[in-house]
Amino acid sequence: MERGINDPDTLRAMRQVERHEFVPEKMKKGAYSDSPMSIGHYQTISQPYIVGYMTQALKLKPEHRVLEIGTGSGYQAAVLATIVASVYTIEIVEPLGIVAKKRFQDLGYDNIRTTIGDGYHGWPDEAPFNAIIVTAAVKKIPTALIDQLAEGGRMIIPVRHSDLRYYLVLVTKKNGEISYKKLIPVAFVPFTRNTD
Ligand code: SAH
């Protein structure tokens, strides 16, 4: 974990969470290479470097409540849950959400709440969140997610830029004002909607 991941909590969480627990049986051997991997349903578990980068960018504190859009394998949620008090994670592909929920139970992550649905709307009943992490790429940042960010909160989200590439964008809310900072270029599966 070179290349600028130096936040002690992020490094500790990534050492602690066993990535092989989150990939399909036949792929366990490759679980510790720094690359994305298929988890079925045309979805992927993110590259460990990107998981570390996004986690670090959220500047998490132990008491934080975090919302994740795109549960996928559950790996990113497990890394977050190792650092913060509670994680809420939403997955749109039902079978992935079900497998991840069972995985969290089996591995003892009792501070992760899961739901199946379209993360475009966030999780209004549990808002506001100190941090929001979106792990599928959007063309436009959903307003509901900005609304559900707590004062002082940070959101990290892959957004399509005018050059048609995707960049991680850091959204911060300070004194009610929203700021955007473009970070590194990334490859992500697209954000999907059941309705449009
Ligand atoms: N965080 C995941 C990586 C997931 S890949 C991990 O650690 O493994 C992106 C995930 O976002 C996929 O599982 C995809 O089904 C989900 N997704 C895409 N659009 C979504 C939406 N609108 N709402 C919720 N989840 C969505």
Indicate whether 26 belongs to any domain: yes
Tell me the C-alpha distance between 13 and 23, whole Å: 18
Indicate whether 2 belongs to any domain: no
Find the catalytic residue in 33, 35, 38, 46: 46
Indicate whether 60 belongs to any domain: yes
The CATH number for 122's domain is 3.40.50.150
- The reply to whether 46 belongs to the active site is yes
Nearest CA to ligand 1 atom 2: 72
Query: Which residue segment(s) compose the domain that 135 sits in?
Result: 8-186
Indicate whether 196 belongs to any domain: no
Task: Provide the number of structural domains found in the chain.
Answer: 1
123 within ligand 1 shell (Cβ under 6 A): no
Indicate whether 86 belongs to any domain: yes
Quick: pLDDT tens for 91-126. 999 999 999 999 999 999 999 999 999 999 999 999
| pLDDT score, position 36 | 87
- Which atom of ligand 1 is the closest one to the Cα of 51? 7
Quick: pLDDT tens for 143-180. 999 999 999 999 999 999 888 899 999 999 999 899 99
Model's pTM, two decimal places?
Answer: 0.95
E strands present in 103-165 = 112-116, 129-134, 149-160
Closest CA to 81 of 33, 131, 125: 131
78 within ligand 1 shell (Cβ under 6 A): no
Indicate whether 193 belongs to any domain: no
Preceding amide of 128 cis, omega within 30: yes
- Which atom of ligand 1 is the closest one to the Cα of 72? 13
Ligand 1 centroid from CA 175, angstroms: 30
